[in-house]
Structure 1
Amino acid sequence: MRNYIWFVFALVALSFASCQDEEESVKQSAANSFGKSSAISSLISRVSQFETTCDNVLDNTSNFSVKLPVHVTVNSQYCYVNSSALYPTVQSYKDNYAGDDVVHFQFPITLVYPDHQEVLVNSETEYNAILAAMGDDSNYHEIDCINFQYPFTINKYNTNNQLAGSVTVTSDAQLYDFIHDLTATEIVGIVYPLSLKKTNSSSVITVTSNSQLEDAIDNAVFECTTGPMPLEVEEVLTSGTWRVSYCYYTHDETYYYANYNFTFNSNETVKAVKNSTVIYGDWDVHDEYGYQRLDLHFDGSTLEDLESNWRVLEVSSTFVRLKSESSSSGQYYYLSFTKN
């Protein structure tokens, strides 16, 4: 990765202090400060957002969730869904039908969005209009395998007006809004230690730094998700073309790889095309220390900064999220591919 030195961020984050008045002062370690576009911001948002994927059997979208209880008719079969335990029943109605699956709601229903906001929908016409206005599902779905333990405090510093302050966070909704509402000129830092708990365990995880928090969340995703085997990762990557949808090291570098289209060939070669520029490299997927790894090589080219032994964090048919650690600085950097 390019060794950027972000002077402005470093100087501000080291002091992280306000001149709003002589008595107010908020101190924060540079290593534990972050901005809106950082990888940790995305992870925090995904842990704190409302779960919108678990009910896709009903609404077929992760852009929102349908608040229970709800009355539905699935291929002419009625079902009163008053808990998530009934989702398999709805799925069975779908599986036993030879034609196109059709789920009709008895209106009104309430939709809940990732930001925890609720919207009352009074008719099927209104519901279909909302669906039509939605874009494709985001690849960054909720992470429901781990939860924050509240309350905890976050410090905030605005580099534009040099104002500092802090907020005590007491809920997922408040935390999601806080991260969502950050601006490009704001730097924040969690006051550690911070506690989290996995949904499948009663044990509490205590973290004392950003890197530990990132590890805790990423490990929870790995442990709670039934991910594909290496061969399936290869099958995903060799299907269609891909683009870099996120790249972060010290700051957001996604723009650097804009308009490159990557083709991963089954012979473990890769071709990146941007306008008239064509760059060749190679790749392979393997297991290492219990994790799936993706090696990328673009020796001597403008893409050689993508070279790393990437740990595969998440894989779907249209999305691959990767993570690596700098051996010199110990910092994490992230890379995501999205299918075109």
Structure 2
Amino acid sequence: MNTKISIILFLFITITLGFFSSCRSESDELPQIVDNGFLQPDSRITNFILRAATNDGALDDSLDKSSCFTVKFPYTITVTGVQTTLASIVELRTFEASYNPSNPVTYSFPITLVYGDFSEVLVNDNTQFVQLVNTCNDTDENIACIDFEYPFSASGFDSQVELIRTINFEKDLDLYQFIDDLKRDDLITIDFPITVNISDGAVLRVSSIGELENTFDDVLRNRCDNVSN
């Protein structure tokens, strides 16, 4: 019996038993279930997922010189008197192929900075931008060598609304916000299998929470540079 069916069966039994008992008081708590298939907010695997879904501030370090944030597309820069508008990571990589890092980059303000937690800061001038670059204190918690392949989903019991729901993830932002908001009483499991892409080119199919945690352990120990687990 897979985890999703187990959740539904558990909830069916819980609801059925409710008909033979008095209404739940405010002091009653939702049942606590220990299951390796469920995501817990303070578990290692949840921490791994959150760090892998974090916005990678190093993606545009060649231009902004800061790994604390990325500059939100689209934006315009001037290098050696030539203006270039960049609208995607593909265009950024194409530009970098011919860019000399010793040449200074001037941004056309305002620009928006996106931090690791996807919070945004509007920057109106170069003075403000330089200050933010200089005060960057990156702890390098991001796991950049593992990328989730989207879309995929999770399902389970949401303790806030007390309903079974399915959560669809289309991008890192969706996954990060969901994991960051995970509650201890939520009975949520990823709908496996899912696919993860490794920075060395490997593409791995993962079939359970335990297998996903083992994948992170292996990749962090053997395939990632300068990342602690």
For residue 139 of structure 1, what is the aligned residue in structure 2? Answer: 140
The reply to whether residue 64 of structure 1 matches residue 62 of structure 2 is no
Alpha-carbon distance in 2 for matches of 1:182, 1:219: 25
For residue 188 of structure 2, what is the aligned residue in structure 1? Answer: 189
2:123 corresponds, among 121, 124, 129, to 121
Alpha-carbon distance in 1 for matches of 2:75, 2:198: 25
Structure 1 stretches lacking a partner, 5+ long: 1-13, 228-314, 323-340
Flag the 1:219–1:41 CA change in 2: closer, same or farther, 3 A.
same
Tell me the CA shift for residue 192 of structure 1: 4.1
> What is the aligned residue count?
203
The reply to whether residue 32 of structure 1 matches residue 37 of structure 2 is yes
Identity %: 20
For residue 80 of structure 1, what is the aligned residue in structure 2? Answer: 84
Tell me the CA shift for residue 169 of structure 1: 2.2
For residue 214 of structure 2, what is the aligned residue in structure 1? Answer: 215
Query: Per the alignment, in what secondary structure is the counterpart of residue 228 of structure 2?
Result: strand
For residue 169 of structure 1, what is the aligned residue in structure 2? Answer: 168
**Offset from partner CA, 1:238-261 (integer Å, 9 cap, x none):** xxxxxxxxxxxxxxxxxxxxxxxx
TM-score where L is the length of structure 2: 0.66
Flag the 1:148–1:17 CA change in 2: closer, same or farther, 3 A.
farther
Q: Which amino acid aligns with 1:107?
A: F
The question of whether the paired residues in 1 share the 8 Å contact of 2:156 and 2:165 is answered with: yes
Tell me the CA shift for residue 166 of structure 1: 3.5
More strand by share: 1
Alpha-carbon distance in 2 for matches of 1:48, 1:216: 15
Structure 2 stretches lacking a partner, 5+ long: 1-6, 19-29
More helix by share: 2
2:15 corresponds, among 12, 22, 37, to 22
Query: Per the alignment, in what secondary structure is the counterpart of residue 217 of structure 1?
Result: helix
The question of whether the paired residues in 2 share the 8 Å contact of 1:194 and 1:207 is answered with: yes
Alpha-carbon distance in 2 for matches of 1:139, 1:173: 18
Q: Which amino acid aligns with 2:76?
A: H
Tell me the CA shift for residue 213 of structure 1: 0.6
Q: What's the RMSD between the two structures over aligned residues? A: 4.0
Flag the 1:36–1:107 CA change in 2: closer, same or farther, 3 A.
same
For residue 321 of structure 1, what is the aligned residue in structure 2? Answer: 228
Tell me the CA shift for residue 60 of structure 1: 2.0
Query: Per the alignment, in what secondary structure is the counterpart of residue 30 of structure 1?
Result: coil
Equivalent residues in 2 for 1:1-340, closer than 5 Å = 22=15, 30-73=35-78, 78=82, 80=84, 82=86, 83-85=91-93, 86-90=95-99, 92-94=100-102, 102-131=104-133, 135-156=136-157, 158=159, 163=162, 165-171=164-170, 172-183=172-183, 185-198=184-197, 203=203, 205-208=205-208, 210-221=209-220, 225=224, 227=225, 315=226, 321-322=228-229
**Offset from partner CA, 1:208-246 (integer Å, 9 cap, x none):** 2x2201122344456654x3xxxxxxxxxxxxxxxxxxx
**Offset from partner CA, 1:283-326 (integer Å, 9 cap, x none):** xxxxxxxxxxxxxxxxxxxxxxxxxxxxxxxx2xxxx624xxxx
Alpha-carbon distance in 2 for matches of 1:89, 1:224: 28
Comparing both chains, which one has the higher relative contact order based on Cα–Cα distances under 8 Å and sequence gaps of 6 or more?
Answer: 2
